[in-house]
Protein backbone atom coordinates (compact mmCIF):
# COMPACT_ATOMS: atom_id res chain seq x y z
CA UNK A 1 0.00 0.00 0.00
CA UNK A 2 1.01 3.60 -0.59
CA UNK A 3 0.30 5.56 2.59
CA UNK A 4 0.77 9.17 3.71
CA UNK A 5 0.66 10.16 7.39
CA UNK A 6 0.60 13.76 8.57
CA UNK A 7 2.37 14.57 11.83
CA UNK A 8 4.50 11.44 11.60
CA UNK A 9 7.56 12.59 13.51
CA UNK A 10 6.39 11.72 17.03
CA UNK A 11 3.71 10.13 19.19
CA UNK A 12 0.91 8.20 17.50
CA UNK A 13 1.95 9.41 14.06
CA UNK A 14 5.46 8.03 14.48
CA UNK A 15 4.13 4.71 15.76
CA UNK A 16 1.84 4.46 12.73
CA UNK A 17 4.72 5.36 10.42
CA UNK A 18 6.95 2.68 11.95
CA UNK A 19 4.16 0.10 11.83
CA UNK A 20 3.50 0.74 8.15
CA UNK A 21 7.19 0.59 7.32
CA UNK A 22 7.65 -2.66 9.23
CA UNK A 23 4.99 -4.42 7.21
CA UNK A 24 6.42 -3.22 3.89
CA UNK A 25 4.11 -0.38 2.94
CA UNK A 26 5.41 2.54 0.87
CA UNK A 27 4.83 5.10 3.59
CA UNK A 28 5.46 8.84 3.46
CA UNK A 29 5.43 10.84 6.68
CA UNK A 30 5.11 14.59 7.02
CA UNK A 31 6.29 16.98 9.71
CA UNK A 32 6.72 20.72 10.11
CA UNK A 33 10.40 20.71 11.05
CA UNK A 34 12.14 17.41 10.52
CA UNK A 35 14.65 16.53 7.79
CA UNK A 36 13.51 12.89 7.71
CA UNK A 37 9.96 13.65 6.61
CA UNK A 38 8.20 15.50 3.80
CA UNK A 39 7.78 19.11 4.97
CA UNK A 40 4.22 20.08 5.82
CA UNK A 41 2.61 22.76 7.95
CA UNK A 42 -1.09 21.93 7.65
CA UNK A 43 -2.01 25.49 8.69
CA UNK A 44 -0.23 26.97 5.66
CA UNK A 45 -2.03 26.51 2.31
CA UNK A 46 1.22 27.04 0.37
CA UNK A 47 2.91 24.33 2.42
CA UNK A 48 0.02 21.95 1.74
CA UNK A 49 0.29 22.57 -2.00
CA UNK A 50 4.07 22.07 -1.89
CA UNK A 51 3.59 18.80 0.00
CA UNK A 52 1.19 17.52 -2.64
CA UNK A 53 3.62 18.50 -5.38
CA UNK A 54 6.42 16.72 -3.54
CA UNK A 55 4.34 13.60 -3.10
CA UNK A 56 3.70 13.41 -6.82
CA UNK A 57 0.86 12.17 -8.96
CA UNK A 58 0.79 8.48 -8.10
CA UNK A 59 -2.19 6.76 -6.45
CA UNK A 60 -2.61 7.00 -2.68
CA UNK A 61 -4.21 4.04 -0.93
CA UNK A 62 -4.50 5.52 2.55
CA UNK A 63 -4.28 9.08 3.87
CA UNK A 64 -3.97 9.30 7.66
CA UNK A 65 -4.73 12.83 8.89
CA UNK A 66 -2.99 12.69 12.25
CA UNK A 67 -1.42 16.15 12.66
CA UNK A 68 -3.11 18.16 15.40
CA UNK A 69 -2.62 20.33 18.47
CA UNK A 70 -4.14 20.65 21.94
CA UNK A 71 -3.34 24.13 23.22
CA UNK A 72 -6.08 24.79 25.78
CA UNK A 73 -5.27 22.10 28.33
CA UNK A 74 -5.56 23.73 31.77
CA UNK A 75 -7.29 26.89 30.56
CA UNK A 76 -9.96 28.32 32.86
CA UNK A 77 -13.40 29.54 31.82
CA UNK A 78 -13.33 32.97 33.51
CA UNK A 79 -10.14 34.20 31.85
CA UNK A 80 -8.77 31.57 29.46
CA UNK A 81 -9.38 30.38 25.91
CA UNK A 82 -8.13 33.47 24.04
CA UNK A 83 -9.26 34.06 20.44
CA UNK A 84 -5.83 33.39 18.93
CA UNK A 85 -5.85 29.95 20.57
CA UNK A 86 -9.18 29.16 18.93
CA UNK A 87 -7.88 30.28 15.54
CA UNK A 88 -4.63 28.31 15.77
CA UNK A 89 -6.37 25.12 16.91
CA UNK A 90 -9.02 25.17 14.22
CA UNK A 91 -6.40 25.97 11.57
CA UNK A 92 -4.48 22.80 12.51
CA UNK A 93 -7.22 20.39 13.56
CA UNK A 94 -9.95 21.23 11.05
CA UNK A 95 -8.86 23.43 8.15
CA UNK A 96 -5.57 21.54 7.93
CA UNK A 97 -7.40 18.24 7.53
CA UNK A 98 -9.59 19.64 4.80
CA UNK A 99 -6.72 21.24 2.88
CA UNK A 100 -4.71 18.01 3.04
CA UNK A 101 -7.60 15.91 1.75
CA UNK A 102 -8.34 18.45 -0.96
CA UNK A 103 -4.71 18.58 -2.13
CA UNK A 104 -4.38 14.78 -2.31
CA UNK A 105 -7.82 14.07 -3.72
CA UNK A 106 -6.55 13.22 -7.23
CA UNK A 107 -4.18 10.64 -5.70
CA UNK A 108 -6.96 9.16 -3.58
CA UNK A 109 -9.35 9.00 -6.51
CA UNK A 110 -6.72 7.23 -8.61
CA UNK A 111 -6.47 4.47 -5.99
CA UNK A 112 -10.08 4.50 -4.72
CA UNK A 113 -8.24 4.97 -1.46
CA UNK A 114 -9.22 5.54 2.15
CA UNK A 115 -9.05 8.55 4.46
CA UNK A 116 -8.52 8.10 8.20
CA UNK A 117 -9.06 11.19 10.34
CA UNK A 118 -7.62 11.00 13.84
CA UNK A 119 -10.16 12.81 15.99
CA UNK A 120 -10.95 12.06 19.63
CA UNK A 121 -13.68 10.77 21.90
CA UNK A 122 -13.76 14.40 23.03
CA UNK A 123 -15.52 15.15 19.72
CA UNK A 124 -18.66 13.37 20.93
CA UNK A 125 -21.65 15.63 21.65
CA UNK A 126 -23.16 12.78 23.66
CA UNK A 127 -20.15 12.83 25.98
CA UNK A 128 -19.67 16.39 27.21
CA UNK A 129 -18.07 16.60 30.66
CA UNK A 130 -16.97 20.22 30.20
CA UNK A 131 -13.61 21.94 29.84
CA UNK A 132 -11.10 21.89 26.98
CA UNK A 133 -13.59 23.87 24.94
CA UNK A 134 -11.31 24.66 22.03
CA UNK A 135 -9.92 21.17 21.56
CA UNK A 136 -13.33 19.55 21.98
CA UNK A 137 -14.92 21.94 19.47
CA UNK A 138 -12.13 21.41 16.95
CA UNK A 139 -12.35 17.63 17.17
CA UNK A 140 -16.15 17.78 16.89
CA UNK A 141 -15.67 19.86 13.74
CA UNK A 142 -13.18 17.31 12.39
CA UNK A 143 -15.76 14.59 13.04
CA UNK A 144 -18.41 16.57 11.17
CA UNK A 145 -15.97 17.19 8.33
CA UNK A 146 -15.19 13.49 8.07
CA UNK A 147 -18.84 12.49 8.08
CA UNK A 148 -19.63 14.90 5.26
CA UNK A 149 -16.56 13.89 3.24
CA UNK A 150 -17.73 10.29 3.58
CA UNK A 151 -20.99 11.19 1.85
CA UNK A 152 -19.41 13.23 -0.94
CA UNK A 153 -16.56 10.82 -1.68
CA UNK A 154 -18.50 7.57 -1.57
CA UNK A 155 -19.41 7.80 -5.28
CA UNK A 156 -15.66 8.02 -6.01
CA UNK A 157 -15.06 4.77 -4.13
CA UNK A 158 -13.24 6.57 -1.30
CA UNK A 159 -14.11 5.51 2.27
CA UNK A 160 -13.62 7.86 5.23
CA UNK A 161 -13.30 6.87 8.88
CA UNK A 162 -12.97 9.02 11.99
CA UNK A 163 -11.06 7.51 14.91
CA UNK A 164 -10.29 7.97 18.58
CA UNK A 165 -6.77 6.62 19.17
CA UNK A 166 -7.39 5.99 22.86
CA UNK A 167 -5.90 7.90 25.76
CA UNK A 168 -2.28 7.39 24.80
CA UNK A 169 0.96 7.99 26.67
CA UNK A 170 2.40 10.75 24.49
CA UNK A 171 3.42 14.37 25.05
CA UNK A 172 -0.22 15.28 24.47
CA UNK A 173 -1.79 12.44 26.43
CA UNK A 174 0.60 12.54 29.37
CA UNK A 175 2.38 9.81 31.32
CA UNK A 176 -0.77 8.75 33.17
CA UNK A 177 -2.70 7.76 30.02
CA UNK A 178 -4.20 4.30 29.54
CA UNK A 179 -2.22 2.78 26.67
CA UNK A 180 1.11 3.06 24.89
CA UNK A 181 1.57 4.24 21.30
CA UNK A 182 2.21 0.74 19.98
CA UNK A 183 -1.15 -0.52 21.28
CA UNK A 184 -2.92 2.46 19.76
CA UNK A 185 -1.14 2.16 16.42
CA UNK A 186 -1.79 -1.59 16.15
CA UNK A 187 -5.48 -1.09 16.86
CA UNK A 188 -5.79 1.83 14.48
CA UNK A 189 -4.15 -0.05 11.62
CA UNK A 190 -6.70 -2.83 12.10
CA UNK A 191 -9.50 -0.26 11.91
CA UNK A 192 -8.09 1.25 8.72
CA UNK A 193 -7.90 -2.19 7.12
CA UNK A 194 -11.53 -2.87 8.06
CA UNK A 195 -12.76 0.47 6.69
CA UNK A 196 -14.86 0.09 3.54
CA UNK A 197 -17.60 1.87 1.66
CA UNK A 198 -20.05 -0.12 3.78
CA UNK A 199 -18.67 1.49 6.96
CA UNK A 200 -17.68 4.91 5.61
CA UNK A 201 -18.42 7.71 8.03
CA UNK A 202 -17.78 5.50 11.06
CA UNK A 203 -16.65 7.01 14.38
CA UNK A 204 -14.74 4.36 16.33
CA UNK A 205 -11.94 3.96 18.82
CA UNK A 206 -8.72 2.05 18.22
CA UNK A 207 -10.36 -1.19 19.42
CA UNK A 208 -13.29 -0.91 17.03
CA UNK A 209 -15.84 0.29 19.57
CA UNK A 210 -18.42 2.68 18.12
CA UNK A 211 -18.48 6.13 19.72
CA UNK A 212 -21.81 8.02 19.96
CA UNK A 213 -21.88 11.21 17.95
Q: Considering only CA atoms, which of 177, 194, 173, 187 is closest in space to residue 15?
A: 187
d(CA 55, CA 1): 15
DSSP assignment, residue 113? Answer: -
d(CA 108, CA 182): 27
Choice among 70, 81, 133, 206 that is catalytic: 133
| Residues 66 and 5 sit within 8 Å (Cβ to Cβ) | yes
| Residues 142 and 97 sit within 8 Å (Cβ to Cβ) | yes
| Residues 31 and 159 sit within 8 Å (Cβ to Cβ) | no
Q: Considering only CA atoms, which of 104, 135, 76 is closest in space to residue 3?
A: 104
**133 among known catalytic residues:** yes
CA distances from 208 to 31, 62, 129, 199, 204 (A): 28, 18, 23, 12, 6
Query: Strand pairing partners for 64?
Result: 5, 116
| Residues 143 and 203 sit within 8 Å (Cβ to Cβ) | yes
Which positions are annotated as active-site residues?
133
Amino acid sequence: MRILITGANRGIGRALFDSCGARGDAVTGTARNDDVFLPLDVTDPASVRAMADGFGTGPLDLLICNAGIYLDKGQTLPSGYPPDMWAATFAANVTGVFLTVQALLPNLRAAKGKIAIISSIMASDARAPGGSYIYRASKAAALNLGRNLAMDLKPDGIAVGIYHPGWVRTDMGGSGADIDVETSATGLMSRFEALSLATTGCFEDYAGRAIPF
